[in-house]
Each structure stands twice: as C-alpha cells, then as structure tokens.
C-alpha cells in the first residue's frame, strides 16, 4: 500500500467503486467483509461501496449478482446503491476501483489532485490480474457473474491480508 500508515488504533475505511453499484462493487464489499470478519477485524475496518453513475441510486444489487453470491454464502440483500461523491476521496483511506473507466471517473473528481495515492485497481491484488480489470458483467450471461465472483474472492482475500499487515491490525 502506498497510503500513509495511520495510527494502529484508527478505523481503516475502505471503499469499492464500480459503474452502477449493483454488480461488482457491492459484491467486492460483501466478500471483503466476510474476510474481515473471519480475521476478527470487523471493528477496525469500515467498508462501503458506490458507483460512479447515478442510475441505480437506492436500488438493490442486480439479481444475477445476488443469486451467484447466495450460492456461495454471501448475502447482498441489504445493499442499496449510492453514487460516488467527491467527499469520499477524503473520507476513505483506500478506494478500490474495478476498471480503468472507474479510475478515470474517480480521479476526475479529485479537483486538487490530492488523493490519487488512495485510488487503485482492485485487480492489482489478484494473483492472475490479466488486464487488471474486474470485467463488467452487466450486459453478459451468468458465466460472467461467476467469473466476477471468482476474481473478487481472490483479490479481496489478498486485500484483507495486506490491509491488516499495512495498518498493524494483527
């Protein structure tokens, strides 16, 4: 991690960002939360997700994402979409985006170029990053949702370990 190391007692705030906030980023937040709970760190790490676009504000996660998640023991039923806002750049310690479009859209809201060091592609944490994008499954078939879940599972597991290490949480 390139972000400054905060005091070990501080809460670490992690935000996941995609386009619609109904497929990739809510899943990443929920799967990451499971890893954090398994590590006993749920009181130390705050987790949220949002989308760069406005279309799904207040909406539940996509039923295809929810179905695949449910099959794997991840509950997304309480999720409601929200849109990324410039203040998120200051609020969160780490902002993980799903693809390069998300990266550009988030950085475009960093008016003073102050927070770019916090913003990274989630797939940098994947052992097999391919093109570093978590592919948008929205317009594809069920196999795309299973593939996204596999990628998110690998990357967020590694992320939980890295954050625990970087912030001295265990």
Q: Could you say whether residue 136 binds ligand 4NP (CB under 6 A)?
A: yes
Of positions 12, 18, 97, 151, contacts ligand 4NP by CB under 6 A: 18
Quote the CA–CA distance of 74 and 66 in Å, as a whole number.
8
Q: Could you say whether residue 55 binds ligand 4NP (CB under 6 A)?
A: yes
Residue nearest ligand 4NP (C-beta atom): 20
Of positions 12, 15, 22, 28, contacts ligand 4NP by CB under 6 A: 22
Q: Tell me whether residue 50 is one of the annotated catalytic residues.
A: no
Of positions 15, 16, 24, 169, contacts ligand 4NP by CB under 6 A: 24
Query: Which two structure tokens, joined as six digits, stand for 114?
Result: 């102050």
Q: Tell me whether residue 70 is one of the annotated catalytic residues.
A: no
Quote the CA–CA distance of 22 and 55 in Å, as a whole number.
10
Alpha carbons within 13 angstroms on the beta-carbon side of residue 42 total: 9
Q: Could you say whether residue 23 binds ligand 4NP (CB under 6 A)?
A: yes
Q: Could you say whether residue 19 binds ligand 4NP (CB under 6 A)?
A: yes
- For residue 158, the minimal CB distance to ligand 4NP (Å) is 20
DSSP string, 70-134: HHTT---TT----B--TTHHHH-SEEEESSHHHHHHHHHT-TTS-SGGGEEEGGGGSSS-TTS--
State the DSSP H helix or E strand holding residue 55, giving kind and residue range, or none if neither.
none
Q: Could you say whether residue 31 binds ligand 4NP (CB under 6 A)?
A: no
Of positions 3, 14, 21, 149, contacts ligand 4NP by CB under 6 A: 21
Q: Tell me whether residue 44 is one of the annotated catalytic residues.
A: no
């Amino acid at each position: 991690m390139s972000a400054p190391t905060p005091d070990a007692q501080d809460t670490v705030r992690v935000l996941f960002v995609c386009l619609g906030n109904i497929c990739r980023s809510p899943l990443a937040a929920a799967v990451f939360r499971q890893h954090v709970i398994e590590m006993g760190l749920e009181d130390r790490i705050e987790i949220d997700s949002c989308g760069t676009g406005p279309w799904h504000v207040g909406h539940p996660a996509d039923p295809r994402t929810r179905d695949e998640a449910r099959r794997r023991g991840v509950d997304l039923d309480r999720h409601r979409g929200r849109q990324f806002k410039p203040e998120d750049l200051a609020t969160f310690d780490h902002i993980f985006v799903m693809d390069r479009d998300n990266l550009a859209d988030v950085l475009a809201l960093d008016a003073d170029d102050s927070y770019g060091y916090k913003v990274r592609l989630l797939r940098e944490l994947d052992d097999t990053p391919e093109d570093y994008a978590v592919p948008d499954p929205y317009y594809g078939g069920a196999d795309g949702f299973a593939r996204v879940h596999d990628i998110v599972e690998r990357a967020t597991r590694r992320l939980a370990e890295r954050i625990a290490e970087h912030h001295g949480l265990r």
